[in-house]
Structure 1
Amino acid sequence: MMATSQLLEHIILLLLLLSFFLSVQTTAAAGFADKLERGQNLTDGETLVSAGGSYTLGFFSPGVSTKRYLGIWFSVSNNTVYWVANRDQPLGDRTGILIFDDVDRLVLLDGSRRRAWSSNFLAAPAAVVQLLESGNLVVRNGSSDTSLWQSFDHPSDTLLPGMKLGKNLWTGGDWQLTAWRSADDPSPGDYRRTLEMAGLPELVVWHRDVKKYSTGPWNGLNFNGVPERSWFADKYPLRVTTSPSEMTFGYTAAPDAFLTRVVVNHTGATERLVWDVGTGEWRSYCKGPRDTCDTYARCGPFGLCDAGAASSAFCGCVEGFSPVHATPSSQEVKDSAGGCRRDAPLDCAGGKTTDGFKVVPGVKLPDTQNASVDMEVELEECRDRCFADCSCLAYAAVDIRGGGHRTGCVIWKDDIFDLRFVDGGQNLYLRLSKSEFDNRKRFPTLLVATPVASVVVIVLVVFLIWWRSRRRIIGGIPHNPTMAVPSVGLDIIRDVTQNFSNGNIIGQGGFSVVYKGLLPEGRTVAVKRLKQSALTTKGNKDFAREVEVMAGLRHGSLVRLLAYCSESRERILVYEYMQNKSLNVYIFGATNLRASLNWARRLELLKGIAHGVAYLHGGSGESVIHRDLKPGNILVDDEWNPKIADFGTAKLFAVDHAGLDQTIVVSP
């Protein structure tokens, strides 16, 4: 009996020991489920699973491909891979292995021990890789919470909660999404999604280097071209971060929110999807581009796209503008890619204007990459700034959240692009000529009032047509009563330049001297005075040509001619003042000045100059050939915007519509 009792005790003890060892092994296995430590490896067929079971890391073959990749996917949807390690170097078979190498880097090796991928971080003797429940694969040194490397810093085609798009201002690195090459090929394709930060932040999809789709600018709540984002703002709050270390966009997920992802696919479409637990499928919450009006700049400059206006090919013009048709055939097929041109010229010079603003309501605001932004002012002050600046074409509020007096101010001084109607859109305030606000019909009233008045009107109209057909020359300048550049007296010029004081000279060349002038209202101008030795027949023609050409040009990349003076033996041009002088100073000047032209700034300058040249070569409605484009004739304002100047040698090509044969007239 004693022996039996002792035997039973031994059996119980063995069972307890066995239970203990099994529990230890089970715990160890569970600990290994989401981690890989130095000395361990992961082979094809094995996986790491995040602690909550939401995400899986392992080897896979996409679609019909037989190539092998290391990636992370949603555990509920094995074919939904959101991150791929070896996008450019697939494995040819199932011999891949993930391991820490001799210098403690995490590497992916093929069967021949050749490296197909590796992470990049400082050596860590106790390195551990772990797949977190956020979906982020991180490498840490032992139990430290600091990540030496993380997959969220190297996104593929998908943005998860907690990830970022934008730029690291400390390292210069950026975060962007790059689409797969195809549904069966995860190598980087031609489409990418970035956060553009010049002007206001906006998300842009690029096809190679061509902008294809934009969400519109950030307005404090969402990107204003995607009002659908408000549907899920409570579950997946959006955020834009601007700090000394980064400028980024991302989103988070509420604790009770379903799995979600934002993906840019191989066709260039961007989509937010949410996992539907009931159906076991991904549901699309919003997609861009959603329609033809989401195609970037679909209707050209000053065009307004309406997705519900198929009969007009979706494109119209903002009020005060009319379509530009490159050819009769483009008008026939309603091709509006050429955009729109202003119906009546603006009236603004010398600090005086009769222009006004009209609201374009309910729109996705235009591209802001060349706009200026000030977050510290109210909308009313924004209007005053735009009204006082003759180069300002439109303005709008930046922040629509309310609850404060600072709405911010965004101002456009260049052609506006990518404007469309959108549900819940914002107001754009567009600068128009006074005539666009005058809806009175004077001629019909006169004709009804009395037959005598009608005869007088007809005679006046005939006389006006005859009078305008003659190009009278006054002081060497074609007289045009509608010219937007006023003539000012010599006494005014003397007053603003302190009688051409030598202390006001800011530059001079072989034919002219440039003075800094101060207008009574405080605006600084540049006064270009031709030297007396330059007042030859050719000099007078060059002066007249510059006034004639500049009078009809309005573009943010051209220096604005504000006024001219042609009195006695004086020939003077008054231009807007460029604080940063010409590019000559920075290209050929001192080392510290050359250093201010970093590559990003050089690129922006080149883009601005290209916009100006494109406008001159047809965008203005006429074709102007500058003929002397060089660094000395490219001025730079206080915001580093380039301005093309000196049109004394330009040729103006314009169609004489009065002639039946459509003769091309070239100014002398």
Structure 2
Amino acid sequence: MSKIYGSLQLFFVSCFALLGFCSSSFIARDIITLNQSVIDGKTLVSSGGTFELGFFSPNNSNNRYVGIWYKRNPVQTIVWVANRDDPITDSSGVLKLSKDGNLVLLNRSETMVWSTNILKAENPVVQLLDSGNLVVRDDDTNLSLWQSFDHPTNTLLPGMKLGWNLKTGLIRVLTSWKNHDDPSTGSFTFGVDRRGYPQAFVWNGKTKEYRSGPWNGLQFSAVPEMWPNFILNFSFTSTADELYYSFSLKNDSFCSRLMMSSSGKLQRFLVAKDDKSKSWNRYWFFPKDQCDNYRACGAYGICNASASLVCQCPTGFKPRDPQNWFLRDGSGGCVRKTEFGCQNGDYGFLKLQDMKVPDTSQAFVNESMSLQECEAACRRNCSCTAYANSKVTEGGTGCLYWTSELIDLRVYTEGGQDLYLRMAATDLAKSQDSEAHSSERKRLTVGLSVCVCVVVLVLPFICCFLSKKRKKNGCSSNKKTEVRASRLKGQGMQFVESNVSSRREYSGEYNKDDLELPVFDFATIAIATDNFSEANKLGKGGFGTVYKGKLKGQEIAVKRLSKNSGQGQQEFKNEVILIAKLQHRNLVRLLGSCIDGEEKMLIYEYLQNRSLDSLLFDKEKSSSLDWAKRFQIIRGIARGILYLHQDSRFRIIHRDLKASNILLDGEMNPKVSDFGMARIFGGDETEANTKRVVGTYGYMSPEYAMDGVFSVKSDVFSFGVLVLEIVSGEKNRGFYYDNSEFTLLAHAWRLWKEGKGLELMDESMKGSSSADEVLRCIQVALLCVQERAEERPTMSSVVLMLSCETTTIPQPKFPGFGHERIPLETGESSAKQESCTINQLTITIVESR
């Protein structure tokens, strides 16, 4: 019996040993040979353990794809997809080498879904390298027959080439996924254009969205952030055989990738290998501002993200369409004021500094010329419009010159290069005279600053005295102006621009020191709004009434501040300065202002769907907001606030985020508005304290409402309240449940804690919602309304959590104001309780950083 038992034991041991041998021969750690394959559920891992290849399903999709991803990251980060346009619908997929040496992907019926499509190989092997490159090579000669690096999807890794193999005709570009759930070919591509002097573009279909500028020896000219760089090496190779851009890591302790997102954003990410969280940090991205958009200001127009008016014309040029220059995006461009005779030499060259050079697709280039020789070549060609060095290294070398209109110009505060613009001698002389006086103006600045301070302190008393005297005499300039406006309209006359506005402003001249928004007189706005008729009234808020109007053929919204609104000169000045300098798709656009006596008005772009609260809290209209639109609104608001906190030139705290301050355009895209209470933070400033708490009850964070302490986390709290309101369709005040009065925050927390989060949803959109998205929004919102500011996420984390379904989201704790009962209120609920006195006068000097 014992012998039988021993024999059986030996038999089973032998079987297990044989199975182990078969399993190990079935698939090696990083290699596939002719006798091996990768089935769904098995993977290849690179020798250093950095990358892994296998089957995956993206986010909410059930489709199966073969892809490569970072193995060590907790969140699966896909960098390459084989069958992106041909998914397998079940788990039957097999990846293996065919007899002819091709790597093929087969489905359940053994139909070939994808192949490397190379010539026959005698002894091929497939290997996943630690660079993330999947290579098919001949095992005898070790020659590479095919590699995934030659066929990128949406990600560029260190060592990959983006560009052209001119011998074989191979073109390597990044192409976005269709969306988060679908890796198939999307709308956006990023690649190198070899026409003229090579540069890189982002295309949306066939439309150019972004231009990197040419390689200037250190970096792409439109990406000054590339140099100097202590982590990454960038290079651009241009030979008879190849033309490509690539990057490598100076430090092996980091990982980096460049990605073309499905929304059209080009982003570079970094992560330290010793970072335990392994979470990617966004290092660079496009677009950062309006000037990143291709030809944002049209021909000869110079885009300046640091200026109040983003689009400007260089000296000697004027807007092509002066009437609409400031009411549109400036894309009409600029034209010369003075034509000149090339043969007569009646011209010169204006030096523009810190520039992104124009589109070089049709530019002439000679790498061996000096700048002087370049100027001479430009002078000999009457079609030449400008010239510059092709490289900025060694003090400037090579020659670039243009013979057509200059497209896609912008100016930088740092970086960029010199551009020499051809112009009439008379206009050039005026420019030089202006420069001669600039140093004198600078010497006068200190004295003028003292005068301005004195005027600011004394002016309120003078205005107060004059105002009382005028009222006593029964004089009302505004009423007279309204009558005059009506009379002008009756005569069919157009509006009259205010003389307060500088004529230089309407010429659009490129002068950094003297730029403001258009200022219109009262008559102009009265005509535009039909004397502020009730028919044009859009709504009434805490600071005044908003009217619809039409100005220069464009629909506008006019915010007319009431005289007893409490928004003083400082708040009005804040709003004008801030909005004029902010450029983002999710921020409302300011077109101009009007100051006439006691009248203060702001002229905005008109948004068809008005404010979010007018739809959200109206039970009849709220049904028009299905979940897709609400989720779009939530993410749009988040992006707008992120821009204010992190990506704009200033760090800006809004301080009054609420549903009535979110406006909606015709496609339900949200735009944050009303910056009267906003505050600019300096570079090192993270929080501030005020004795004058302003904002709206129900949206204010605990530390701000109780102690007057505000920071970016104050806005995060308000955003959290706003998200809960959007999900529930209920206001965070006067909210009742089971005949007990609760805050919306307390109610949301109770449902979340009990696992009933979906019960918070507005009944009108339950049929259109995604449960996962709704719960994710509620969880993010509850994190945003935490009692302690330091426990709330930043807006960059919020945007990431809302955008990426695979991101791990922490569990929230009990929210701030969770026990509070908010009394029922009517109308606007402004927390501004005290009037501003002369003792609390604050002079804020806004300076660009």
What interval of TM-score do these two structures reach, taking the shorter chain for normalisation? 0.5 to 0.7
CA distance in 2, matches of 1:287, 1:343: 37
Residue equivalent to 1:185: 182
**Structure ranking higher in strand proportion:** 1
**Letter aligned with residue 297 of structure 2:** C
For residues 383-532 of structure 1, what are the structure 2 equivalents within 5 Å? 383-402=375-394, 407-422=397-412, 423-439=414-430
Taking structure 1 as reference, are residues 41 and 203 closer, same or farther at Cα in structure 2, changes over 3 Å only?
same
| Structure 1 position 140, deviation (Å) | 1.1
Query: Quick check: 2:177–2:183 contact (8 Å CA) kept in 1?
Result: yes
| Structure 1 position 257, deviation (Å) | 4.3
Q: What SS does the aligned partner of 1:281 have?
A: coil
Taking structure 1 as reference, are residues 210 and 201 closer, same or farther at Cα in structure 2, changes over 3 Å only?
same
Query: Quick check: 1:63–1:183 contact (8 Å CA) kept in 2?
Result: yes
Q: 2:366 aligns with which of 363, 374, 382?
A: 374
Residue equivalent to 1:344: 338
CA distance in 2, matches of 1:27, 1:155: 32
Residue 225 of structure 2 is aligned to residue 228 of structure 1: yes
Taking structure 1 as reference, are residues 27 and 407 closer, same or farther at Cα in structure 2, changes over 3 Å only?
farther
Taking structure 1 as reference, are residues 257 and 356 closer, same or farther at Cα in structure 2, changes over 3 Å only?
farther
Superposed CA deviations along residues 494-533 of structure 1, whole A, max 9, x for unmatched, are xxxxxxxxxxxxxxxxxxxxxxxxxxxxxxxxxxxxxxxx
CA distance in 2, matches of 1:130, 1:283: 29
Identical-residue share of aligned pairs (%):
41
Residue equivalent to 1:249: 245
> What is the TM-score with the length of structure 1 in the denominator?
0.59
Aligned length: 414
Q: Which moved more, 1:252-261 or 1:419-428?
A: 252-261
CA distance in 2, matches of 1:27, 1:200: 55
| Structure 1 position 31, deviation (Å) | 8.2
Taking structure 1 as reference, are residues 92 and 407 closer, same or farther at Cα in structure 2, changes over 3 Å only?
same
Residue equivalent to 1:172: 169
Give structure 1 regions of 4+ aligned residues with deviation exceeding 4 angstroms: 24-31
For residues 152-171 of structure 1, what are the structure 2 equivalents within 5 Å? 152-171=149-168
Query: Quick check: 1:304–1:317 contact (8 Å CA) kept in 2?
Result: yes
Residue equivalent to 2:280: 282
Residue equivalent to 1:364: 356
CA distance in 2, matches of 1:205, 1:175: 13
Residue equivalent to 1:297: 295
| Structure 1 position 325, deviation (Å) | 1.2
CA distance in 1, matches of 2:109, 2:329: 58
CA distance in 2, matches of 1:227, 1:435: 34
Q: 1:133 aligns with which of 116, 130, 134?
A: 130
Query: Quick check: 1:62–1:79 contact (8 Å CA) kept in 2?
Result: no
Q: What SS does the aligned partner of 2:426 have?
A: helix
Residue 208 of structure 2 is aligned to residue 211 of structure 1: yes
Q: What SS does the aligned partner of 2:379 have?
A: helix
CA distance in 1, matches of 2:218, 2:368: 18
Residue equivalent to 2:312: 316
Q: What SS does the aligned partner of 1:237 have?
A: strand
Query: Quick check: 1:274–1:285 contact (8 Å CA) kept in 2?
Result: yes
Query: Quick check: 1:229–1:286 contact (8 Å CA) kept in 2?
Result: no
CA distance in 1, matches of 2:67, 2:128: 11
| Structure 1 position 432, deviation (Å) | 0.9
Q: 1:237 aligns with which of 233, 238, 246?
A: 233
**Letter aligned with residue 245 of structure 1:** D
Q: Which structure's CA Rg is the greater one?
A: 1
CA distance in 1, matches of 2:183, 2:393: 40
Residue equivalent to 1:5: none
Query: Quick check: 1:235–1:257 contact (8 Å CA) kept in 2?
Result: no
Residue equivalent to 1:106: 103
CA distance in 1, matches of 2:166, 2:205: 24
CA distance in 2, matches of 1:30, 1:353: 79
| Structure 1 position 25, deviation (Å) | 5.9
Q: 1:40 aligns with which of 36, 42, 60?
A: 36
| Structure 1 position 139, deviation (Å) | 0.6
Query: Quick check: 1:217–1:368 contact (8 Å CA) kept in 2?
Result: yes
CA distance in 1, matches of 2:22, 2:354: 61
Superposed CA deviations along residues 99-146 of structure 1, whole A, max 9, x for unmatched, are 122323211011111111111112223211000011100011225321
| Structure 1 position 287, deviation (Å) | 0.7
CA distance in 1, matches of 2:26, 2:287: 44
CA distance in 2, matches of 1:70, 1:215: 32
For residues 528-539 of structure 1, what are the structure 2 equivalents within 5 Å? none
Query: Quick check: 1:360–1:428 contact (8 Å CA) kept in 2?
Result: yes
Superposed CA deviations along residues 133-185 of structure 1, whole A, max 9, x for unmatched, are 11100011225321111101111011111111111111122111111000110
CA distance in 2, matches of 1:332, 1:149: 54
CA distance in 2, matches of 1:231, 1:43: 46
| Structure 1 position 85, deviation (Å) | 0.5
Taking structure 1 as reference, are residues 143 and 103 closer, same or farther at Cα in structure 2, changes over 3 Å only?
closer
**Letter aligned with residue 334 of structure 2:** C
CA distance in 1, matches of 2:177, 2:210: 18
Superposed CA deviations along residues 4-53 of structure 1, whole A, max 9, x for unmatched, are xxxxxxxxxx9xx99xx99x969967981000110111100000000000
Q: 2:193 aligns with which of 193, 196, 203?
A: 196
Q: What SS does the aligned partner of 2:202 have?
A: strand
CA distance in 2, matches of 1:389, 1:411: 10
Taking structure 1 as reference, are residues 239 and 48 closer, same or farther at Cα in structure 2, changes over 3 Å only?
same
| Structure 1 position 347, deviation (Å) | 2.2
Q: What SS does the aligned partner of 1:424 have?
A: coil
> What is the TM-score with the length of structure 2 in the denominator?
0.47
| Structure 1 position 419, deviation (Å) | 0.5
Superposed CA deviations along residues 27-83 of structure 1, whole A, max 9, x for unmatched, are 967981000110111100000000000000000000111110000001123521010
Taking structure 1 as reference, are residues 54 and 67 closer, same or farther at Cα in structure 2, changes over 3 Å only?
same
Q: What SS does the aligned partner of 2:90 have?
A: coil
CA distance in 1, matches of 2:410, 2:329: 17
Query: Quick check: 2:30–2:127 contact (8 Å CA) kept in 1?
Result: yes
**Letter aligned with residue 330 of structure 2:** S
Taking structure 1 as reference, are residues 381 and 146 closer, same or farther at Cα in structure 2, changes over 3 Å only?
same
RMSD between aligned residues: 2.4
Residue ranges of structure 1 left out of the alignment (5+ in a row): 1-13, 442-668
Query: Quick check: 1:325–1:335 contact (8 Å CA) kept in 2?
Result: no
CA distance in 2, matches of 1:108, 1:230: 42
Taking structure 1 as reference, are residues 110 and 28 closer, same or farther at Cα in structure 2, changes over 3 Å only?
closer
Superposed CA deviations along residues 453-493 of structure 1, whole A, max 9, x for unmatched, are xxxxxxxxxxxxxxxxxxxxxxxxxxxxxxxxxxxxxxxxx
**Letter aligned with residue 117 of structure 1:** W
Residue 267 of structure 2 is aligned to residue 271 of structure 1: yes
Query: Quick check: 2:26–2:35 contact (8 Å CA) kept in 1?
Result: no
Residue equivalent to 1:504: none
Taking structure 1 as reference, are residues 434 and 425 closer, same or farther at Cα in structure 2, changes over 3 Å only?
same
| Structure 1 position 332, deviation (Å) | 5.8
Superposed CA deviations along residues 398-420 of structure 1, whole A, max 9, x for unmatched, are 111117xx700000110001101
Superposed CA deviations along residues 277-305 of structure 1, whole A, max 9, x for unmatched, are 42421111111121110000000000000
CA distance in 2, matches of 1:209, 1:331: 27
Superposed CA deviations along residues 415-438 of structure 1, whole A, max 9, x for unmatched, are 001101122110100011110133
**Letter aligned with residue 341 of structure 1:** V
Q: What SS does the aligned partner of 2:373 have?
A: helix
Query: Quick check: 2:27–2:36 contact (8 Å CA) kept in 1?
Result: no
Residue equivalent to 2:304: 306
Q: 2:117 aligns with which of 98, 117, 120?
A: 120
Q: What SS does the aligned partner of 2:259 have?
A: strand
Residue equivalent to 2:80: 83
CA distance in 2, matches of 1:177, 1:257: 25
CA distance in 2, matches of 1:426, 1:286: 21
